């Protein structure tokens, strides 16, 4: 009987470029088979050093010597080996190795990961791009530019998340932060959507991201108000702590709902799926723990007729985007894929990254995830220790707001 191929080493790469802005955490799993390795995404950009420490100090010693073919057992045991479980730090650390093991198994089988999952259900994944603007006309201009490039699904925002560029009146001595006025935001977004619809027509599919910044009752009202604009979906309109309020949204309007960016464990999305409170699940795949739990979530959602729309912003690494598209082309219940549009430096750093052409993302047909890391180039772009500002959301009186 042949000796099993085992994990010999786990390396962690922390990468940050000026163009991408966010910090990527990439994991490389090296095996006992010469030249055979896999890479995975463990990106939690706001707590990147905590994830790196979890990998290096805890998961790496646990993983050394593990049979690479027993990836399901690795995932299940890694999630409980620390007794306390779930949360973005642990889940992302596990994800880095989980994705790398899928990559390795695909290389051993000489098959792309989508074939390991069950094979293609489609040739490519439809993606949506982000059209922002300082005013409604600038949003329209950007929507038209994306349409010219072949995008049919376009997310419309104005002034960033929560309209943060709007002038705010705040108390004397109020602390700095990303200020926004929830009521002013909803009024401005409704005017923007009305303007956009009037100028681009009804053929283009529009999306909008609330980014969990409204109170539950304001969210219910907003979801009802935007129903007239026939959105493809309203994204992350409630915080994870308030998901029961989706029941009221369902009772009052037919606005399609997508939810999941901040969710960490099955108990958070099980209610949404089994009560059919949302139309799309859009979790961050590495925050779930990797491809293994994302596969399970997709199959669970499929039973209830709910589609996927995996989180795919600039703080999903190129390896994470590669994992997304392998899931996308396999899933029977795929809906849409978020896409952030990296520049050429990132394509050079991550050869084999999925390509987007005329609004569709295509995986390559290489074994595994089909993506690699140029370690020499990545070494020129180390992560910087910075305090993120955009996540420090404050209400008009200066008090902290979620998320």
What's the whole-number mean pLDDT along residues 301-315? 95
Residue 163's pLDDT band, with cuts at 50, 70 and 90, is low
Residue 162's pLDDT band, with cuts at 50, 70 and 90, is low
211 vs 294, higher pLDDT? 294
Query: In CATH, what number is assigned to the domain containing residue 184?
Result: 3.20.20.120
Residue 164's pLDDT band, with cuts at 50, 70 and 90, is low
pLDDT reported for residue 166: 52
* Number of structural domains found in the chain: 2
Q: How far is CA 293 from CA 45, 66, 226, 236, 392, in A?
A: 21, 19, 33, 20, 30
**198-209 pLDDT, tens per residue?**
999 999 999 999
What mean pLDDT is reported for the chain?
93
Q: Which three-class secondary structure state does DSSP give residue 40?
A: strand
Domain boundary among 112, 142, 162: 112
Is 321 known to be catalytic? Answer: no
Is residue 2 in a domain? no
240 and 134 in one domain?
yes
Query: In CATH, what number is assigned to the domain containing residue 94?
Result: 3.30.390.10
Residue 344: which H helix or E strand, with range?
Answer: helix 344-349
Is residue 286 in a domain? yes
175 and 77 in one domain?
no
What's the whole-number mean pLDDT along residues 311-319? 93
229 and 124 in one domain?
yes
Please give the full DSSP string across 201-228, using - where no structure is assigned. Answer: -SSSEEEEE-TT-S-HHHHHHHHHHGGG
Is residue 391 in a domain? no
356 and 278 in one domain?
yes
Domain that holds residue 166: 116-367
125 and 44 in one domain?
no
Q: How many CB atoms lie within 10 A of CB 360?
A: 19
Q: How far is CA 156 from CA 161, 208, 221, 263, 276, in A?
A: 10, 5, 19, 23, 25
128 and 106 in one domain?
no
153 and 187 in one domain?
yes
Could you tell me how many residues make up the chain?
A: 403
260 and 121 in one domain?
yes
Q: Which three-class secondary structure state does DSSP give residue 11?
A: strand
Is residue 376 in a domain? no
**21-50 pLDDT, tens per residue?**
789 999 999 999 999 999 999 999 888 899
Is residue 402 in a domain? no
Burial class (CB in 10 A: 0-12, 13-18, 19+), 61: exposed
Structure tokens at 325: 């598209």
pLDDT reported for residue 19: 73
Which residue pairs from 30-33 have beta carbons closer than 8 angstroms and sit at least 24 positions apart in sequence? 31/5, 31/6, 31/7, 31/68, 31/104, 32/5, 32/6, 32/7, 32/8, 33/5
Is 161 known to be catalytic? Answer: yes
Single out the catalytic residue among 161, 179, 185, 381. Answer: 161
92 and 137 in one domain?
no
146 and 70 in one domain?
no
Q: Is the pLDDT of residue 155 over 80?
A: yes
DSSP assigned state of 259: E
Residue 399's pLDDT band, with cuts at 50, 70 and 90, is confident
Spell out the alpha helix ranges (H) of 237-334.
246-252, 266-274, 285-288, 291-303, 318-330
**213-260 pLDDT, tens per residue?**
899 999 999 999 999 999 999 999 999 999 999 999 999 999 999 999
d(CA 112, CA 96): 18
Domain boundary among 88, 112, 136: 112
Is residue 316 in a domain? yes
284 and 211 in one domain?
yes
Q: Output Rg (C-alpha) for the chain, integer angstroms.
A: 21
Domain boundary among 62, 78, 112: 112
Single out the catalytic residue among 130, 208, 211, 311. Answer: 211
132 and 50 in one domain?
no
């Amino acid at each position: 009987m042949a000796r099993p191929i085992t994990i010999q080493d786990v390396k962690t790469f922390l990468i940050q470029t000026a163009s991408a802005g966010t910090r990527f955490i990439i994991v490389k799993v090296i095996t006992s088979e010469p030249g055979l390795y896999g890479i995975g995404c463990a990106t939690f950009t706001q707590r990147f050093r905590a994830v790196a420490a979890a990998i290096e100090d805890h998961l790496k010693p646990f993983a050394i010597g593990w049979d690479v073919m027993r990836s399901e057992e690795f995932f299940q045991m890694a999630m409980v080996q620390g007794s306390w479980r779930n949360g973005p730090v642990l889940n992302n650390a596990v994800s880095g190795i989980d994705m790398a093991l899928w990559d390795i198994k695909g290389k051993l089988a000489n098959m792309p990961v989508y074939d390991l999952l069950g094979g293609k259900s489609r040739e490519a994944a439809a993606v949506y791009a982000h059209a922002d603007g300082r005013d409604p006309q600038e949003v329209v201009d950007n929507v038209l530019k994306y349409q010219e490039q072949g995008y049919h699904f376009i997310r419309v925002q104005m002034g960033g998340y929560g309209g943060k560029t709007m002038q705010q009146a705040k108390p004397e001595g109020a602390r700095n932060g990303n200020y926004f006025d929830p009521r002013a935001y909803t009024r401005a977004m409704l005017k923007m959507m009305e303007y956009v619809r009037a100028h681009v027509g009804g053929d283009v599919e529009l999306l909008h991201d609330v980014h969990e910044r409204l109170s539950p009752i304001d969210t219910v009202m907003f979801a009802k108000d935007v129903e007239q604009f026939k959105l493809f979906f309203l994204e992350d309109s409630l915080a994870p702590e308030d998901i029961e309020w989706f029941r009221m949204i369902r009772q009052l309007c037919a606005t399609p709902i997508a939810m999941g960016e901040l969710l960490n464990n099955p108990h958070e999305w099980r209610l949404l799926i089994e009560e059919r409170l949302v139309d799309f699940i859009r979790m961050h795949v590495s925050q779930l723990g990797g491809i293994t739990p994302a596969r399970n979530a997709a199959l669970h959602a499929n039973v209830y007729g709910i589609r996927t729309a995996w989180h795919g912003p600039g703080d999903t690494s190129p390896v994470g985007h590669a994992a997304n598209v392998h899931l996308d082309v396999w899933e029977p219940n795929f809906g849409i894929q978020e896409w952030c549009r990296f520049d050429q430096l990132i394509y050079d750093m991550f050869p084999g990254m999925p390509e987007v052409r005329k609004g569709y993302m295509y995986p390559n047909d290489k074994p595994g995830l089909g993506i690699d890391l140029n370690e020499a180039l990545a070494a020129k772009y180390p992560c910087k220790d910075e305090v993120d500002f955009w996540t420090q959301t404050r209400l008009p009186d200066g008090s902290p707001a979620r998320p």
